[in-house]
Amino acid sequence: MEPGEPGREPDGRGIRVGVLARRRLTRVEQVVEFPGELGPVRVDDDGTELTTLGRAGLRVRVTVAGTTVDVVTCHLKSKLLSFPGGRFTPRDEGERARYAVYALHRRAAEAAAVRSYVTTTQLLHGPPGSEIGSGGFDRPDKGDGQRLWNLAPLIPAEDRFTRVYRGRRELIDHLLVSRALVDAVDEVGTVDIGTTSTGDDPRRRRDEPVSDHRPVVATFRPSA
């Protein structure tokens, strides 16, 4: 496949994901295919179907202080709705509703694909537990070997947003970790980079010097 096609990077808008590291990266792989059980996902009125992520995810492995960590990063289908012909406004509310469904199905399928990759490549492992912030966190659970924990509850409430949409704060960027890393979490937050409110037409931000998403950052202190 060529750049711009579904499943490759960069996508048609020039967007790609990446990992910056000071240490050597190994096991560099792309995450592309939907799970076979899921089947194709329809994405428009013409019946176009996809079986891959629109933007390939990326998996890398890095070793820090004797601890091996696998990182998977992805940029799922945007919440932004786009319509045939490069439009960002619908012809009518019926078209808006249909394309909202297509976008939701595609985003869910991409999330399922990444989840399936993480499971089938045995990246999830570690001692049992439960949910971050709950009284049952230390209780054994048979599902913990297949579970990811969202670090969002650990972000200070006043900073718990990554995007401002029409003046409303939203948290739409997330860090998830396996049980093996939960106890190594030291600090989680978002970074104020001067992000301003955005709307439904991304062309208005084309020349903006910063992203419309605040980064989510976490510090880990793994035991040797």
Domain identity same for 57 and 103: yes
Phi, psi of 119 (to 5 degrees): -75, -50
Alpha helices in 20-163 (DSSP H): 93-120
106 and 18 fall within a common domain: yes
SS3 116: helix
Q: Tens digits of per-residue pLDDT, 95-116?
A: 999 999 999 999 999 999 998 9
Cβ–Cβ < 8 Å for 211, 193:
yes
Q: Residues 182-214: pLDDT tens digits? A: 888 999 999 999 888 888 887 777 777 778 889
pTM of structure = 0.80
87 shares its domain with 156: no
- 145 and 108 in a single domain? The answer is no
135 confidence band (pLDDT: 50, 70, 90): very low
Q: Note whether residue 132 is domain-resident.
A: no
How far, in Å, are 17, 50, 119, 198 from residue 161 at the CA level? 21, 31, 28, 14
On the 0-12 / 13-18 / 19+ scale of CB atoms within 10 A, 204 is exposed
| Averaged pLDDT, 53-74 | 90
Judge if 83 and 147 occupy the same domain: no
Q: How high is the mean pLDDT of the chain?
A: 84
How many independent structural domains does the chain possess?
A: 2
Residues 25 and 103 placed together within one structural domain of the fold: yes
H-type helices in the chain, by residue range? Answer: 93-120, 179-182
Examine the domain organization and report whether 12 and 94 are in the same domain.
Answer: yes
Residue 142, pLDDT above cutoff 70 = no
Where a domain ends, among 123, 153, 180?
A: 123
- Final residue of a domain: which of 59, 90, 123? 123
Which among 194, 174, 203 has a CA at the least distance from the CA of 88?
203
Q: 163-165 and 67-73 as β-strands: parallel, antiparallel, unpaired?
A: unpaired
Report if residue 210 sits inside a domain: yes
Are residues 98 and 14 part of one domain?
yes
More confident residue, 130 or 59: 59
In a domain, 130, yes or no: no
* Statement to judge: residues 73 and 183 lie in one domain: no
Range of the domain at 58: 1-123
pLDDT tens per residue across span 12-49 = 777 788 999 999 999 999 999 999 999 999 999 999 99
Domain contains 131: no
Q: Report whether 61 contacts 69 (CB < 8 A).
A: yes
- Identify the band that residue 119 occupies on the pLDDT scale cut at 50, 70 and 90: confident
